[in-house]
């Protein structure tokens, strides 16, 4: 066997392996979508040839779940929470990141230690007191409650600081000679150059907020005030074994993020890779 033929054989084996793996990854998604369009009786009839909905595609599953759970409000709640969290996180983190990365000020080491220590402590230790804050302020079931734990971010500050530090010092020195103030240098020269760290932070924040289950369950127990993810746990309680409707709910919960991911793949992958295993 020639070298080329051998090469082709290995490459074929690798593709075969990867295609099998891809099938394992995609099957649950496909099964979710297909089940969502089946009638209930069809979903519990076991026949390998009924992979696709046999007697028409049942859109009414979606309509029924949409109406009984008011998905419009769930989408709105989730969207506003994500928007506010991303806005607050990016704003506070980029300011603090610039200061830590570029400026000299008293107690800098001490303040930066506060950032680092927070990143090392497992998040659950904050939850009881954060819940007490929300409850004492009578802010249960509000957008404020959903936003609160994500208002500032130690991890994001660290990320932005790394971004600012990687830029050459000469950039700012030149602007300083031209008479630009610190704020001007920050706003017009440095901030635009760290766009990629901010995009990563934004995606990380959005995904974290979207995936979180425990916090919205605790502070927004009312269905009309909660997020998509937390509503799913309710849905499961109500439609216990009506799998087509459960799957319709799951499809509606994952679709927006999936579409965003398919459009902004590169940014998503970078955003998650920078966060490591934190998601």
For other proteins, the binding residues in 86-145 under the rule CB under 8 A are 91-93, 95-96, 98-100, 103-106, 108, 111, 114-115, 118, 120-133
Nearest to 247 by CA among 61, 47, 44: 61
Span 227-246, contacts to other proteins by CB under 8 A: 228-230, 232-233, 236, 243, 246
**For residues 198 and 232, which CB has a smaller minimum distance to other proteins in the complex?**
232
CA 101, CA 162: separation in Å to the nearest integer?
7
Q: Which of 9, 44, 174, 187 binds other proteins (CB under 8 A)?
A: 44
CA 153, CA 205: separation in Å to the nearest integer?
9
**For residues 73 and 260, which CB has a smaller minimum distance to other proteins in the complex?**
260
Span 66-85, contacts to other proteins by CB under 8 A: none
CB within 8 Å of 186: residues ≥ 6 apart: 98, 102
Span 162-221, contacts to other proteins by CB under 8 A: 182-183, 207, 210-211, 213-214, 218
CB atoms inside a 10 Å sphere around CB 50: 14
CB of 199 to other proteins, least distance (A): 15
CB of 55 to other proteins, least distance (A): 17
CB within 8 Å of 226: residues ≥ 6 apart: 74, 77, 141, 216, 217, 220, 234
CA 1, CA 15: separation in Å to the nearest integer?
20
CB within 8 Å of 191: residues ≥ 6 apart: 94, 98
Q: Which of 31, 57, 59, 188 binds other proteins (CB under 8 A)?
A: 31
| Stretch in the footprint of other proteins (CB under 8 A) among 40-48, 69-77, 164-172, 193-201 | 40-48
CB of 224 to other proteins, least distance (A): 18
Verify binding: residue 247, other proteins, rule CB under 8 A: yes
> What 8-state DSSP symbol labels residue 124?
G
Q: Which of 74, 148, 159, 190 binds other proteins (CB under 8 A)?
A: 148
CA 31, CA 16: separation in Å to the nearest integer?
22
**For residues 93 and 146, which CB has a smaller minimum distance to other proteins in the complex?**
93
């Amino acid at each position: 066997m020639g070298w080329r033929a051998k090469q082709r054989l290995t490459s074929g084996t690798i593709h075969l392996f990867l295609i099998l793996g891809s099938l394992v990854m995609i099957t649950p998604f496909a099964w979710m979508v297909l089940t969502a369009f089946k009638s209930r009786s069809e979903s519990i009839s076991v026949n390998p040839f009924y992979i696709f909905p046999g007697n028409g595609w049942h859109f009414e599953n979606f309509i029924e779940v949409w109406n009984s759970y008011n998905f419009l409000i769930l989408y709105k709640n989730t969207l506003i929470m994500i928007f506010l969290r991303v806005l607050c996180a990016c704003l506070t983190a980029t300011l603090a990141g610039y200061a830590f990365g570029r400026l000299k000020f008293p107690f800098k080491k001490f303040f930066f230690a506060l950032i680092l220590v927070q990143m090392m402590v497992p998040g659950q230790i904050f939850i009881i007191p954060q819940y007490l804050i929300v409850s004492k302020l009578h802010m249960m079931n509000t957008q404020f409650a959903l936003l609160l734990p994500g208002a500032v971010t130690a991890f994001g500050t660290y990320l932005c600081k790394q971004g600012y530090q990687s830029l050459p010092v000469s950039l700012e020195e030149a602007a300083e000679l031209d008479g630009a103030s610190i704020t001007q240098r920050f706003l017009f020269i440095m901030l635009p150059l760290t766009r990629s760290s901010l995009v990563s932070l934004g995606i990380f924040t959005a995904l974290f907020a979207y995936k979180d289950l425990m916090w919205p369950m605790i502070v927004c127990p009312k269905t009309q005030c909660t997020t998509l993810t937390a509503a799913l746990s309710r849905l499961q309680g109500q439609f216990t074994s009506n799998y087509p409707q459960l799957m319709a709910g799951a499809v509606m919960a994952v679709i927006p993020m999936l579409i965003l991911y398919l459009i902004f793949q590169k940014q998503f992958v970078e955003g998650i890779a920078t966060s490591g295993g934190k998601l």
